[in-house]
Amino acid sequence: MDELIELLKEFDGIGQKAAKKMFFQIMTSKLKKQKLIEVIEKISNDYEICERCFFYKYKKLCSFCDSQIRDKNLICVVSDILNAEKILNSKFKGIIHVLNGEININKNVHPEKLKIEELFARINSEVEILLALNLTFEGEVTANYIATKLKDKAKNITRIARGIPLGGVLDYMDNETLEDAIKNRKIIKKG
């Protein structure tokens, strides 16, 4: 049993408790088990990775690459598919490029392990790159790496703005964020 639970735990996002609960649910309900198998087969049959942007295709179509209305000269770079989903559901009207991670030398994630070469292959002087990587140390390192390498090759390279999130309390903000939020202040009424 422990061995089977370990196998379930190999899935990122499934911890010890969740794996045990899944185990018992699969064991106790033939119906739940059958439905789970069907879901897995459906995912595996209907979805695949887009070989261009590394987002996913549903029934052979990528919501970004195969869109007729999206601006193909504005590429938003994100670290994973979950982030790409967030962008898809936002007002952003360009296309996407999923890196499949962020540079992390400590964890042995070097640029070659990411889809960075594939990003560079998509760039030309007409293209604006929006670096929407996480505002963490690894995200910043990755954004800087790409920005340095792409210098002069893209039309524009931009980074999502740092600021105070909706509902954010100044007390709890770090100074760098606060200073950026002040520097990037927006005029709401011109005197």
Q: Which is nearer to a second copy, 8 or 147 (CB)?
A: 8
Binding residues for a second copy, rule: CB under 8 A, are 1, 4, 7-8, 10-14, 17-28, 30, 32-33, 35-37, 39-40, 42-44, 47-49, 56, 58, 81-82, 85
Q: What is the largest CA-CA distance in the chain?
A: 71
Distance CA 8, CA 103 (A): 27
Q: In the complex, what is the shortest distance from the CB of residue 2 to a second copy, in angstroms, rounded to a whole number?
A: 10
Strands (DSSP E) contained in the chain are: 47-49, 56-58, 61-62, 71-78, 94-98, 128-131, 156-159
Q: Which is nearer to a second copy, 16 or 184 (CB)?
A: 16
The residues pairing with 97 across neighbouring beta strands, listed in sequence order, are: 77
Q: In the complex, what is the shortest distance from the CB of residue 186 to a second copy, in angstroms, rounded to a whole number?
A: 32
Q: Which is nearer to a second copy, 87 or 129 (CB)?
A: 87
Straight-line distance from the first to the last Cα atom of the chain, in angstroms, rounded to the nearest whole number: 71
Q: In the complex, what is the shortest distance from the CB of residue 4 to a second copy, in angstroms, rounded to a whole number?
A: 5
